Amino acid sequence: MNIFIIGVGLIGGSFALDVKDTYSDVKVFGIDNNPEHLSTALALGVIDEKADWNDLGKADIVYAAIPVNVLCNVLPEILDKVNDEAVVIDGGSTKMLICEAVKEHPKRRNFLAAHPIAGTEFSGPEAAIKGLYANKTNIICEVEKTAFKLQERALKIFSDIGMRIRYMDPYSHDKHIAYTSHLSHISSFMLGKTVIEKEANERDIFDMAGSGFESTVRLAKSSPAMWTPIFQQNKQNVLETLEEYIENLQEFRDLMLKDDFEAIYNVMQNTNKIKEILKGITVKN
C-alpha cells in the first residue's frame, strides 16, 4: 500500500508513523515544499522515500496535512493527479471552505474530509510521534460524497490506528471547533502576549510562573503559519466566540470593580461544572 503524506510535520508525520507501526505492507512517501523537512523526515524514519506531485498517480492513500489556505488551492490539483482508486484525506481544522473547493470536482468521490482532534503545540517532522492518534476523535464531514469503498478503506485505517469516528456537517464542525479549539488558541496567544509585554519591565515575572501558567500558554507555542489561515477561514465563527468571551471577561472585570466577590464565587462555582462535563466525555470515549 502506497501512502503519500503531503506535509510531513506533526499531523502528517504522526499519521505516517502510526500507519507504519500498524501495517507491514505499507510504503510511505513524503511531499513537502520545505526540502529540509523532507530530509529530516527521511532521516527520522517518518517517511520511506521523498516524492513530488508527479508521483501521486501511484498513491493508494493521500493524506494532506498542510495549512488550510494552501489546501484549498492545491486540493483540486491533488485530485487531478491521483488514480481513480485512490482516496485523498485531509486533516484540516476547518471544513466548509475545503469542501467547497472541490464540490464540483469530477473526482469529488475520491476525497474524504476529515479533522483529527489531535495534536501538540510543536511543529515540523521532529514533532511527529507514534500514538498521537490513539483514542482521539476524527471528525468526518460529507462522508456520503465519498465513494463507499474508499470510505471503508480510510475508516479502517482510522480504526486500526485507534481513532474514534464522529460524523458532522461542515457548517456545524466549523461552528463547534471555534469554541473548543480556535478560541483556546487565541486565548493562549493573547495571554502570552500580555505577559511578554509586562515582562519587559518586570523581569521576575517568569520566575513566578508555575504549571498553571505554563499549561495555559502552551498553545501559544503553536505555528502562526498554520493558525492564521485557520482563523481567516473560520472568521465569522471565531468572531462570534470572541464576542461571547469578551462579554464574560468584561462581566468578571465589572464584578471586581464592584467588589462583588460573592458573585465572582458563584460564577466560578457554576463554571466548575466543566469538571463533570469533561469527565463524562472522557468516560464516554
| Shared domain check, 161 and 26 | yes
Is the model's pLDDT at 69 over the cut of 90? yes
Task: Express each pLDDT in 166-199 by its tens digit.
Answer: 999 999 999 999 999 999 999 999 998 988 887 7
Same domain for 126 and 15?
yes
133, 199: one domain: no
Pair (182, 161) in one structural domain: no
- What percent of the chain clears pLDDT 90, i.e. is strictly above it? 83
Whether residue 83 is found in the same domain as residue 202:
no
Strands 137-141 and 111-116: antiparallel
d(CA 285, CA 280) in angstroms, rounded, equals 8
Helices (H) and strands (E) in the chain, counts: 12, 8
pLDDT computed for residue 202 by the predictor: 61
Output the pLDDT for position 23: 96
Q: What is the pTM of this model?
A: 0.87
Task: Count how many domains the chain has.
Answer: 2
Tell me: do 31 and 160 sit in the same domain: yes
Are 173 and 100 in contact by the 8 Å Cβ rule? The answer is no
pLDDT in tens, 197-251: 877 666 666 666 667 777 888 899 899 999 999 999 999 999 999 999 999 999 9
CATH number at residue 262: 1.10.3660.10
Q: Which of 127, 152, 170 is the last residue of a domain?
A: 170
Higher pLDDT, 276 or 128: 128
pLDDT at 121 over 50: yes
Residue ending a domain, choose from 117, 137, 170: 170
Over residues 29-49, the mean pLDDT reads: 97
Whichever domain contains 100, its CATH number is 3.40.50.720
271: pLDDT strictly greater than 50: yes
Q: Hey, what's the cell of 76?
A: 483540486
- Residues 91, 108, single domain; the answer is yes
Contact status, residue 89 vs residue 112, Cβ threshold 8 Å: yes
252 and 165 in a common domain: no
Distance in angstroms (rounded) separating the CA atoms of residues 162 and 2:
20
At position 6, the amino acid (one-letter code) is: I
Q: Nearest Cα to 14, choosing from 44, 51, 52?
A: 44
Q: What is the DSSP string of 14-60?
A: HHHHHHHHH-SS-EEEEE-S-HHHHHHHHHTTS-SEE--GGGGGG-S
Burial (0-12, 13-18, 19+ Cβ within 10 Å), 245: middle
Reported as a pLDDT band with limits 50, 70 and 90, residue 283 is very low
Same domain, 57 and 150: yes
Question: Do both 87 and 187 map to the same domain?
Answer: no
pLDDT, mean of residues 137-165: 97
What is the residue range of 201's domain? Answer: 173-284
- Tell which of 154, 170, 186 closes a domain: 170
pLDDT-based confidence at residue 151 (cuts at 50, 70, 90): very high
Q: In angstroms, rounded to a whole number, what is the distance separating the alpha carbons of residues 89 and 59?
A: 12
Candidates 58, 60, 74; CA nearest to 7 is 74
Same domain, 158 and 274: no
- In this structure, the answer to whether residues 195 and 142 fall within a common structural domain is no
Residue 203: predicted pLDDT = 63
